[in-house]
Amino acid sequence: MQTQRQKEHEWLHQLIGEWQFDAEASMKPGQPPDHSKGTEVVRSLGGLWILAEGEGDMPGCGPATSLMTLGFDTRTNRFTGTWIGSMMTHLWLYDGELNLVGNTLTLDSQGPAMKDLTQLGRYRDVIEIVNDGHRTLTSHFLDDDGLWRAFMLANYRRTR
């Protein structure tokens, strides 16, 4: 079964390349934000998926590596993917969609809750294309009041 590439797969291809990132995260209320830097290499897998391999300091964790996979499922008409990091054992499963303008991909997931790591919380990662050489990733969690709260912002700059 050969799947034909869709415009959504093409959207993901603008992430392909080598990037440097600077991130700021507020992991605990009332404490100053953590800052981190690192690199990411994004490549295509068969034209239908992208693999984003990151390396650098993770806020509150120190040196770490990560792997994000993103694709578009033509059966569900939704973006799908995963994220894993060397600092934790949880496999994050993504489900998402593009905004109407086509510059922002919102990915919903579940993971260890901020207040109680034995429970699951709802999370949202938002990838925004600022321009060809700049994108952002903002991570949010759903708080007890039902509001999405941003806790991390990473700016990615293309190096190649």
Range of the domain at 75: 7-25+35-158
Which amino acid would we find at residue 109? S
Cα separations in angstroms, 41 against 15, 81, 133, 146:
9, 17, 14, 35
The domain total for the chain is 1
Residue 146 lies in a domain: yes
30 within some domain: no
Q: What is the pLDDT along the chain (160 residues), one digit of tens a residue?
A: 688 899 999 999 999 999 999 999 987 777 788 899 999 999 999 999 999 999 998 766 789 999 999 999 999 999 999 999 999 999 999 999 999 999 999 999 999 998 888 899 999 999 999 999 999 999 999 999 999 999 999 999 999 9
pLDDT of residue 60: 66
Residue 1 belongs to a domain: no
What CATH number does residue 98 fall under?
2.40.128.20
pLDDT of 61: 76
Cα distance between residue 46 and residue 42, in whole Å: 13
Has residue 90 been placed in a domain?
A: yes
Copy the structure tokens of residue 124. Answer: 């949202």
